[in-house]
Amino acid sequence: MADDAKVNSTESGSYRAKIADEAARIEEDVTYASKSHFNDADSWDQRHLWLGGAGTILAAGAGATGLFSGHPTLAALISFLSAGATAVLTFQKPGEHASAHRVAGAGYAETRQRARQLRNVGAIGPDSDDALRKSLDEIAAQKAQLDKQSPVPSRPAFERARAGIEGGEATQMIDSKAR
């Protein structure tokens, strides 16, 4: 079995090149995941701001209407809308969703960095093939753990991530320079 792996490695490229290729695959996957989660965090933050702001403004409006205009029906309607906004805010917990997506995005970003470093530096460095394989396995395990623990990003967040990545948002200046 080990001889077969050695033959296959020799036939289709070096073992280190295969490790670099696999690290590149992980790097690509986590780039999309990270950006998707950060996009979702932004969306949840916006919902939190809008719902909280609407609830606050409506509550103030209800109080002012009841005190100054003598329109109890209008004050009651505005109070009802304020309570509705507050209830949605409490039920949806957008701050918690935003935080969970931000933590997931940061975890995927860290994994991306580790995969990129393995691909760019580790696979050409003095480490043994076994050490490189161990590093790759650790990075893959980190990604798998994030996949299990993280909330699922929304489709719109993923589509925005894809458009941004294809537009160069995930490319660092050093990577875009001609070498």
What is the domain extent for residue 125? Answer: 19-164
The amino acid at residue 9 is S
Higher pLDDT, residue 143 or 76: 143
CA 179 to each of CA 8, 19, 142, 173: distance values in angstroms, whole numbers, following the listed order = 31, 23, 31, 12
Choose among 67, 170, 66: nearest CA to 109. Answer: 170
**Is 6 within the bounds of a domain?**
no
**Is 174 within the bounds of a domain?**
no
**Is 4 within the bounds of a domain?**
no
**Is residue 14 pLDDT above 50, yes or no?**
yes
Q: What was the pLDDT predicted at 122?
A: 78
Higher pLDDT, residue 83 or 150: 150
Indicate the pLDDT class of residue 57, thresholds 50, 70 and 90. confident
**Is residue 3 pLDDT above 70, yes or no?**
no
Angle at 97 between CA 92 and CA 98, to 5 degrees: 125
**Is residue 2 pLDDT above 60, yes or no?**
no
**Is 1 within the bounds of a domain?**
no
Quick: pLDDT tens for 73-100: 777 777 878 888 787 777 778 889 999 9
**Is 171 within the bounds of a domain?**
no
**Is residue 72 pLDDT above 70, yes or no?**
yes
Quick one: CA dihedral 156, 161, 166, 168, positive or negative? Answer: positive
**Is residue 25 pLDDT above 80, yes or no?**
yes
Average pLDDT of the residues in 98-124: 92
What is the token pair recorded at 58? Answer: 């409506």
Question: pTM for this structure?
Answer: 0.75
**Is 153 within the bounds of a domain?**
yes
**Is 100 within the bounds of a domain?**
yes
Domain count, the chain: 1
**Is residue 63 pLDDT above 90, yes or no?**
no
**Is 2 within the bounds of a domain?**
no
